[in-house]
Structure 1
Amino acid sequence: MMDNYYIDFKRKIQISKDNENNQRPINRVVRKTDKTRVREERFTFDPIAPKRPYGHEYGWVSPFILEVRKYLKLIPEQLPSKDDSLVPMIVEKAADGIIEEGKIIGRLCEAQKLAEKLKNEKDKGMKQVWICCAKLYSMECFLYKKLNEVMRLIGSDDHEQLWRSKVRTLGPFCLLLWDNPFQTKLTTEKTLYRVVKLTNEQIATYEEMAKNPNEYRSFQAFTSSSRNKDVGNNFPTTNVLFIMEIEFAFTVDIAPFSEYPHEEEELITPGVCFTVHRVEFDKSAKKHVIHLKLRHRFSRRDKHQFQKDLTQASGPEYNTRSGRITGDLLIDGVDLRDLLDDHFSGIALDDGDDLSYDRDGNRH
């Protein structure tokens, strides 16, 4: 039994569930699964909104995550990585949401299998749950496609109601994947690669951004990238190679949990900002090469909250996932206070974007 059809092995035919007259013959064969290839759709789908190539800035935490926390009635300090008692409840909601989304798109059987795998881990603590989420996300299934299809709409006025409507179903899984309990520091000094197919208009937008090195924008979806610089050679139909230099940002290496470890996949987490360093055309590869610099950014409200936390700090503890400081923070030797001063000195930010959300998830 499959999602859209079932197999009659005795008669060797495939029969549609919607129309039993819709049949076709089948043969049973042993097929070798090629897990040495790099999956084109995973590394080339457009991770950005249809009508704009990137989202605006929203601060340290993505609006989608903030809305999920509001839906789950979590206060800023509450996260499953910090409180294992929250994990079973969030896992149940995540599993239910996966099943609901799978049913909508005609992939109920697949969704039920994914949900079952997740629910089997719900009482084993956040670390085991997160590993399961990373494995599920890395699988070739509808889940990662649907999640990113929704999250890349953040920043598009025409699609705001759509992404908000998915907070209930896709949000809990998103939160579990985002709240990595193994990640204790930001990624720095690493280069990642991604290829896409963009229109001439979209490429021109990046060229304009390259003229203003202080113009920041953000990726709002989980964005798959590779540490392998030759990833673009696998997809000749693409016309753009992103070379992304990480200054400091949250990324996660999911290759150890993937059925496709050769992809060397590294996820850029939602909300990471970027500037365009330069755009050039590689004649030999016949691709535009767009050089980005990635870093996590603070909104003005983040700065206010961080400074408040710093004045009250009594110990060296920092909750990077919630964006709360409870002590001195060093990022590879850089004190956060110096980072904040550098971030807000002489940089013009869009008040309309930065003030959209506060740390409690309240929209303004």
Structure 2
Amino acid sequence: MAYAIPTASNNSLNHIDWTWQSNPDPWSTAETTEWNHYSDVENLIIQEAFSNKQAQALLDGYYIDFKNNRQISNTNSHKQRPRFMDLPVASRGSFDGQYDWISPFVIEIRRNLKLKPEELPSKKRDMIPMLVEEAARGIIEEGKYIGKERQAEKLAKILREQKNKGIKEVWQQCAYIYSLESFLYKTLHTTMRLVGDKDHEQEWRSKIRTLRPFCLLLWNDPFNTKLKTKKTLYRTNC
């Protein structure tokens, strides 16, 4: 049976933690029962559908049937697994990475957009709606490319909520999106690590068109205006 726990913020993941039974045969009474957590973005999609009293939550590759507490394949209705929700675990790890690695990619982004030094969303507010919309479209395109369209649409929706706000609100939303366990941060990490590698230059440059708006918004941190070196950017993992 499901229980909804209210939270103070729509962007908080500390409300309901949805899980699915992951042992090889979920219907076996002989196997040890194992449970896996859905990704952060999947968790948001499921929680939104549940809060809106929808019968199902549509994910990439499968959907959640709330009435019967089942995870069901989108292509084969016979492939089902039990699922339920519980309170989230208290401990969360962290990802440690040098912030400096994003700089070469951002330099290429600025060149690609033909931006002058003073042309940044933190200095030109009229750029923000356009960049947010382009970032949302880029996220959706990347998601479709790897079969994560549902996740991508959810991330784009979250970002667009701040489309007409200032750079501080937009940056906070970008940082929140980046902190989520999703295909987006993995794609960004993979791309950034290839920057400067001549053997993979075509690969990382191919991502500039789709990732450039989001990266620029994330990089243009309005809360830290002074140049800092050896800065560490943290993201949380379940």
Q: TM-score range by the shorter chain?
A: 0.5 to 0.7
1:34 pairs with 89, 102, 105, which one? 89
CA deviation after TM superposition for structure 1 residue 152, in Å: 0.7
Q: Specify the SS of the correspondent of 1:15.
A: strand
1:157-213: CA deviations, max 9, x gaps?
1110011000011111111111111212234xxxxxxxxxxxxxxxxxxxxxxxxxx
Residue 16 of structure 1 deviates from its aligned partner by 2.2
Secondary structure (helix, strand or coil) at the match of 1:26 reads strand
- Which protein has greater RCO, CA pairs closer than 8 Å, 6+ apart? 2
Give the CA deviation at 1:259: 6.9
Equivalent residue for 1:6, pick from 53, 63, 87: 63
Aligned to 2:4: none
Query: Helix, strand or coil: the match of 1:62?
Result: helix
Identity %: 49
The question of 1:110 aligning with 2:151 is answered yes
Q: 1:180 to 1:250 in 2, by over 3 A?
A: farther
Partner of 1:146: 187
Shift of 1:10: 4.7
Q: Within the alignment, does 1:251 sit opposite 2:224 as a pair?
A: no
Q: Is the 8 A contact 2:62 2:72 kept in 1?
A: yes
Equivalence for 2:104? 63
- Checking the alignment, whether the CA contact within 8 Å between 2:93 and 2:236 is kept in structure 1 is no
* Structure 2 gaps, min length 5: 1-57
Q: In structure 2, what residue type is equivalent to 1:32?
A: L
- Answer yes or no: is the 8 Å Cα contact 2:73–2:80 preserved in 1: no
Question: For 2:76, which of 16, 20, 28 is the aligned residue?
Answer: 20
Q: How far apart, in 2, do the equivalents of 1:85 and 1:99 lie? A: 23
Cα deviation, residue 12, structure 1? 4.8
Distance 1:84 1:131 in 2: 15
Counterpart AA for 2:200: H
Partners of 1:72 and 1:186 lie apart in 2 by 23
AA in 1 matched with 2:118 = E
Could you tell me which residue of structure 2 aligns to residue 85 of structure 1? 126
Structure 2 counterpart of 1:120: 161
Contact 2:139 2:156 in 1 (8 A): yes
Does residue 159 (structure 1) correspond to residue 200 (structure 2)? The answer is yes
The count of aligned residue pairs is: 180
2:86 alignment partner, SS class: coil
What SS does structure 2 have at the residue aligned with 1:152? helix
Paired with 1:148 and 1:25, the residues of 2 have a C-alpha distance of: 32
In structure 2, the residue matched to 1:218 is: none
Q: Residue 85 of structure 2 aligns to a residue in which SS?
A: coil
**Runs of 4+ that moved beyond 6 A:** none
Q: Could you tell me which residue of structure 2 aligns to residue 231 of structure 1?
A: none
C-alpha contact 2:65 2:72 (8 A) present in aligned 1 = yes
Label 1:104 to 1:185 Cα distance change in 2 as closer, same or farther (>3 A): same
- 1:252 and 1:91 map into 2 onto residues whose CA distance is 25
* Cα deviation 1:316-358 (Å, max 9, x = unaligned): xxxxxxxxxxxxxxxxxxxxxxxxxxxxxxxxxxxxxxxxxxx
Query: What TM-score comes out, normalization by structure 1 length?
Result: 0.45
Letter in 2 for 1:65: V
Q: CA RMSD in A?
A: 2.8
Structure 1 Cα separation of the partners of residues 206 and 171 of structure 2? 24
**Retained in 2: the 8 A contact 1:13–1:23?**
no
Whole-Å Cα distance in 1 between the matches of residues 185 and 219 of structure 2? 13
Does the CA contact (< 8 Å) of 2:136 and 2:156 recur in 1? yes
Residues 8 and 37 of structure 1: CA distance in aligned 2, closer, same or farther (over 3 Å): closer
Query: Residues 127-169 of structure 1: CA distance to partner in whole angstroms, max 9, x if unpaired?
Result: 1111111111112222211111101101111110011000011
Q: Deviations over 1:61-111 (max 9, x none)?
A: 833112212332322221111111111111111110111111112211111
Rounded Cα–Cα distance in structure 1 between residues aligned with 2:163 and 2:226: 25
